[in-house]
């Protein structure tokens, strides 16, 4: 079958890589794609938010399955547009994608259906938010309600920082319209774990856990980013934690969305905090995480097209996910120095051919492009260097070894991805 993937990052490169493994995949397209994806798929210059152009392309090229990787088009209703055109598409419709599109909605949903999460209040008025913060305990968390590229979360240690945060989100609109509403949330402590899942509206299948590193600098310092690297599985996601989450979080979320007449089909990303009082939901995403997909999908043994189609058709109960349980994966992101604030791009990348023919090593392109016959940097996060090992420590050693194979001007990476592994 002909398949179209919508997106241009490392997540989409990981998705395309899995699709290319399937014997059911004939021609793969990606819109708009990147220089790495172009090695596996035909990249087409259509933006992820150009819904009508994407539908026209899908019809003209006999695309039988479209997979949407990015949050913006999902929240914007791309699935509804494709379905109205009679096209098969994997991902939640607009009514369901609000699970990620509005943090206030998701917090209210969890409160209504007794899904464990942090205490919170929602605000649309900056003055009311500041008045509330004057009575709050610190540290405290401020979240822009809408999509903010994974960066719309501020941790404030005192009232002065919190007042400045309200100004940043709600008045200066640093995150655009995402800051029209703001969630003020209790600060939780513990281990942060990510769990991806496939959902068909009623049945949920859980993928292997992962642990992300959001902060820009070593020691988990600096501003939040889209993710500087991660590892899977998390040794802190125990059988006991899994049992609790399956009982009180995962299926409960799927059932809650169905009860709200917003049945969810696609991928739900559960961002969890493992607190002393048990797991709590920090956030939901309505798609594969990035770079979580880069450490989870390479170990998936199922034909991913079978899983996508089972979700679309509401027969996920027929699928049992299988992962390489005796393997672990670590991803280290090579970024442009200055990310996520400001950075230069357009620098040639050398050494990419070192990955050719090497089992257990992946170089997922995130922000790359072609220029004058060369592959150049084209974003803040440039490459996701992923390695598979017999355990997390071996995978980490291999991943960091592989980061040395690639060079480009202003290359930056954290040197402590997976540091928590040493505490186990």
Residue 45: how many other CB atoms lie within 10 Å: 9
107 assigned to some structural domain: no
Placement of tokens 């290319």 in the chain: 20
Q: Cα torsion at 188, 190, 194, 197 (round to 10°)?
A: -80
Among residues 140, 158, 180, the one where a domain terminates is 180
**Do 279 and 215 lie in a common domain?**
yes
**Do 293 and 204 lie in a common domain?**
yes
Domain that holds residue 167: 125-180
**Do 201 and 283 lie in a common domain?**
yes
**Do 196 and 257 lie in a common domain?**
yes
Distance CA 304, CA 320 (A): 12
**Do 309 and 208 lie in a common domain?**
yes
Taking the mean position of all CA atoms in its chain, how far away is CA 48?
16
321 burial type by CB count under 10 A (0-12 exposed, 13-18 middle, 19+ buried): middle
**Do 353 and 256 lie in a common domain?**
no
Which pTM does this prediction carry?
A: 0.95
Distance CA 92, CA 98 (A): 9
Tell me the three state secondary structure of residue 168: helix
Per-residue pLDDT of the chain (424 residues; tens, 9 = 90+): 999 999 999 999 999 999 999 999 999 999 999 999 999 999 999 999 999 999 999 999 999 999 999 999 999 999 999 999 999 999 999 999 999 999 999 999 999 999 999 999 999 999 999 999 999 999 999 999 999 876 788 999 999 999 999 999 999 999 999 999 999 999 999 999 999 999 999 999 999 999 999 999 999 999 888 899 999 999 999 999 999 999 999 999 999 999 999 999 999 999 999 999 999 999 999 999 999 999 999 999 999 999 999 999 999 999 999 999 899 999 999 999 999 999 999 999 999 999 999 999 999 999 999 999 999 999 999 999 999 999 999 999 999 999 999 999 999 999 999 988 887 6
**Do 200 and 286 lie in a common domain?**
yes
Q: What is the CATH number of the domain that holds 35?
A: 3.40.50.20
Residue 236: how many CA atoms within 13 Å on its side-chain side? Answer: 24
**Do 160 and 201 lie in a common domain?**
no
100 assigned to some structural domain: no
Helical spans, DSSP H, in 92-190: 94-101, 103-112, 126-133, 159-166
Distance CA 389, CA 38 (A): 27
**Strands in 225-327 per DSSP E:** 229-232, 265-275, 278-285
- Write out the two tokens for 49: 């938010």
**Do 36 and 85 lie in a common domain?**
yes
Q: What is the CATH number of the domain that holds 410?
A: 3.90.600.10
Structural domain count of the chain: 4
Q: How high is the pLDDT of residue 83? A: 98
pLDDT digits (tens, 9 = 90+) for 359-416: 999 999 999 999 999 999 999 999 999 999 999 999 999 999 999 999 999 999 999 9
CA angle in degrees (0–180, nearest 5) for 114-117-119: 100
């Amino acid at each position: 079958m002909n398949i179209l993937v919508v997106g241009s990052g490392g997540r989409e490169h990981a998705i395309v890589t899995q699709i290319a493994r399937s014997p059911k995949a004939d021609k793969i397209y990606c819109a708009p794609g990147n220089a790495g994806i172009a090695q596996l798929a035909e990249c087409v210059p259509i933006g992820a938010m150009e819904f009508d152009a994407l539908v026209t392309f899908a019809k003209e090229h006999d695309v039988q399955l479209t997979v949407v990787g990015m949050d913006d088009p999902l929240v914007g209703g791309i699935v509804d547009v494709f379905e109205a055109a009679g096209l098969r598409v994997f991902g939640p419709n607009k009514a369901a994608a609000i699970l990620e599109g509005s943090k206030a909605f998701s917090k209210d949903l969890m409160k209504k259906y007794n899904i464990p999460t942090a205490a919170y209040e929602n605000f649309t008025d900056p003055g009311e938010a500041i008045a509330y913060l004057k009575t709050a305990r610190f540290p405290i968390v401020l979240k822009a309600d809408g999509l903010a590229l994974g960066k719309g979360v501020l941790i404030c240690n005192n009232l002065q920082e919190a007042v400045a945060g309200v100004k940043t989100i709600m008045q200066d609109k640093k995150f655009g319209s995402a800051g029209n509403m703001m969630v003020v949330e209790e600060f939780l402590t513990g281990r942060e774990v990510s769990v991806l899942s496939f959902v068909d509206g009623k049945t949920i299948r859980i993928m292997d856990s992962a642990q992300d590193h959001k902060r820009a600098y070593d020691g988990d310092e600096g501003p939040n980013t889209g993710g500087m690297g991660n590892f899977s599985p998390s040794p802190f996601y125990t059988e006991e934690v899994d049992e609790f989450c399956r009982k009180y979080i995962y299926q409960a979320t799927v059932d809650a969305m169905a009860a709200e007449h917003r049945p969810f089909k696609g991928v739900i990303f559960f961002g969890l905090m493992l607190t002393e009082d048990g797991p709590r939901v920090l956030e939901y995403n309505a798609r594969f995480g990035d770079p979580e997909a880069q450490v989870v999908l390479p170990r998936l043994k199922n034909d991913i097209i079978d899983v996508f189609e089972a979700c679309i058709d509401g027969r996920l109960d027929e699928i049992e996910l299988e992962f390489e349980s005796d393997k672990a994966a670590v991803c280290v992101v090579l970024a442009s120095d200055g990310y996520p604030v400001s950075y230069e791009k357009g620098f040639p990348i050398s050494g990419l051919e070192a990955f050719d023919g090497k089992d257990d090593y992946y170089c997922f392109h995130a922000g790359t492009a072609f220029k004058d016959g060369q592959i150049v940097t084209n974003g803040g996060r440039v490459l996701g260097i992923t390695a598979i090992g017999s355990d997390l420590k071996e995978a980490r050693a291999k991943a960091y070894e592989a980061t040395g194979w690639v060079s480009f001007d202003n290359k930056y990476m954290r040197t402590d991805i997976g540091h928590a592994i040493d505490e186990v």
